[in-house]
Structure 1
C-alpha cells in the first residue's frame, strides 16, 4: 500500500482557492455591498451631523474591517492591529461629554452602532462594552478624580476597558451576584468569579461589580490589569461573536485601593443607569446585522444566476427579500423612537427591554431568511450571512435574554413581577 507521506499531521490536498476565484459569480463580503435597506428613507429623520457620522463609520468599516473580518472570525482572534482604525470612528467615548470626549447624541451613537454591526457584529460588541458600559460607569458613578484620570485615554482607545457583572451562577439573576468586596486597611479585597466578560483578556482596566461584605449592597471597583490575584482566561468554542474575547475571571484577594472604588455604585439601581444606555445600543446591534444581511442578499440575488436568470427574478426569492426589508423598516422605527424617548428623559426600563427583545427576535427571522436565500453559500462566512446568523445568537441572549426582557416589560405593563419560579418558595410540606 502506498504511503500518504508527511505523517498524520500533514495537510491533504492544496490550500483552498480564494473565494473570488472559486466562486466568481457572486462578490464576497470582503468587498462589502452598498447600503440599500433604508426603503422608507429614515435617513430624513437624522440631523446633518448624524448623517455625516453614519457615512464616516460606514466608509471606515467597509474599507478597513470588511476585508479581514471572516479571517479573524474563523480564527476566533481579535484584530488588535485594527484598533487604531476603530479609534478613528470616534465612538470610543459613546455619549460621554467632557474630559476629551466628543459627547455624541444617543441617536448618533445608536445609528453608528448599527453601522459597525452591519459590517461586523464582533467589532460592535467590542466598542459597546467599552463605550456604553465602561465609559458611562465612570462618568455617572465615578469621582471627579477618576473621571479626569481615566476618561481621556479611554475616549481614544489608548486604554481599553471591560465591565464585569455576570457570574457562573448568576446570569439573568445578575443582581444576586456573589463576588465579595471586603474592607481592609487602605482599600478592599475582591474574591469571586466572573464569566462571559467581553474584552477581559486584554483590557487595561476592569470594572468589577461586587457585593459589600458588610452592607450586602452592590459596589463597583476599578481593577488594573495584572494585579496580584487577578486571572482572566479566554472562553473557547463559541459559535458566535468569535472575534470578541470573552473571559472567565478569577479574583483571589485582589487588593483595590480605596481611590479606585466607584463612589456612585451602592445598589443595583445605580447600575441600571448604565444599563439604560447600553441596552439602547444593544437594540441597534440586531438592526445593523439585519441591514448587512439584507444588503448582501440584495446584491447576491442580482449576481447569482440559475435556470438562465438571476435569482432576483424568482418570486420566492423576492418575497423573502421583501419580508426582510419590512422587518428592518419596523426595527429602525422602534430603535429611533427609543432613542428619542431616552433623550427626552421619558424612556422606561420596560420600553428599552421590549426594544431589545423585539429587535433581536425580528433580526433572527431576517438572518434566517438570508441564510435560505444564499443556498449553499449561506453557510460560508465569506458571504457574511452565516457569520451574521451565528453572531446574532449571543446578542439574542446578552443584556437580558428575550424572555427576561419580555418579563421586565410585562412587569411594567401589569404591575406584577413574574421572575421567581413557584418552586423557589419554601415548601409547606
Structure 2
C-alpha cells in the first residue's frame, strides 16, 4: 500500500510538471507571435527602409525589404505622375513616412505619398515636377543590403552635357577671381611644384577637357574607414577640388561623372566622358585592403591581359562589383565594358594611359608614400573607354587609420588635387601629339 501511495504521488508530480511545461510553451508561443510583424505568419515581405537620392542626373528611390516585392508601375499625364502598386505589404513603418523623405530641392519629385489601393496592395504615387522616363527593377541581397526595389526617375529631356561643362567652367573661373590671396606664400606652403598654366603650351584656341570620376556614390558607399568615413565622400571632395583647379586654367576645363551623392553605373561613367569628347578620364578612389596596415597611394591603368599583381586583380574585381552594390537594371551596360579583345585604338590608348599614370604617380609621391613605385594594371571596367587615356588614382588607404585621417584633412585633399593637376599638365607638355586637342571657344 505504501508503494502504491508513493507511485501515486510521483504520478501527480509528473502530471504537474507536464501541465507547467505546456503552459510555458503556450505563453512562449504567444510572446513570439507578439514580437513578429503582423504579416510574418504568411511570410510576406516587410519594408525595412526607404531611401531617396536626388541628383541633377536623376533621382533614385530605394525600398529595402525582407523579401522580394511584387509590383506594377505605370505613368499618368496631366499632371505628371508615376504610380507604383506593391502587393503583400503593410502601410506602416517606412512606407507611412514617405512624404518626409523628399526634399524641396529634389529636381524631379514634387511629392511622394502612399495609401491602400485595395486589400493587400499599397499604392505609391510620385507627383513629378517634369516628364520622366522611369526605370523600376529589383536587386537581390548583396553585402549589407537585403532585397531592394529601385525606382530611377530620369528626365525625358536631359541637360546638355556640353552646356553643363561650360557653366562649370564659368562658375569656377568666377570663383577664382574673387579669391584674394598672396599666391607666392600659398605656393610655398602647399608644395614646391604648384600647377602653373605656363607649363602647358596648347595651340591657340585649343581646349583640353578632363572628365573627373569620383568613385562610388549613393547606394554604393565604397570602402568604409574605422572612423566611419565613406570612400564616396572622400572621392567627391577631392574631385570637386580638382575640377575647380582645372577650370581655373585658361586652356583647360573639367566635368564630373557625379557632383553629388548619387550612384552612377560604370558604363554611364564611360559614356559621360565620351559625350563631352574628353581628352582624359581620371577616376578617384580611396580604397581598403584586407589588413589595416596597407598604406600608400597608387595609380592604375587598364590591362589588355592579366593584372600586374594579385592585389591589383583583387582591387579591380572589387571595383567592378560596384554595379552590383549600387544597383543597375538588368540589360544595361555598354559594349566597351563587355569587350575582351582590344583593337589598335585601345592598345594605343593604354600606352597613353601609362604615360599619364607615370606623371601623376610621380607628383603624388611628393605628398604621400607610394604603395607601388610603378603604374599598375588591371581590368578596371571604368577605364575601358577605347579612345580616352584613363587612369584610376588610389589617393590613400581608407582602411589605414592614419591615412583615413589624412583623407579627412582639407590640406591633404588640396595637395592631392594639385598633384593630380600637375601630373596632367606634365603629361600634356610631354605628349602633345597624344592628346586630342579640340579647337573650341570657352565663351
Same fold (TM over 0.5): no
Select the structure that is richer in helix: 1
- Flag the structure with larger Rg: 2
Higher fraction of strand: 2
TM-score interval w.r.t. the shorter chain?
under 0.3
TM-score (norm: length of structure 2):
0.26
TM-score by length of 1: 0.27
Task: With a CA cutoff of 8 Å and minimum separation of 6, indicate the structure with the bigger relative contact order.
Answer: 1
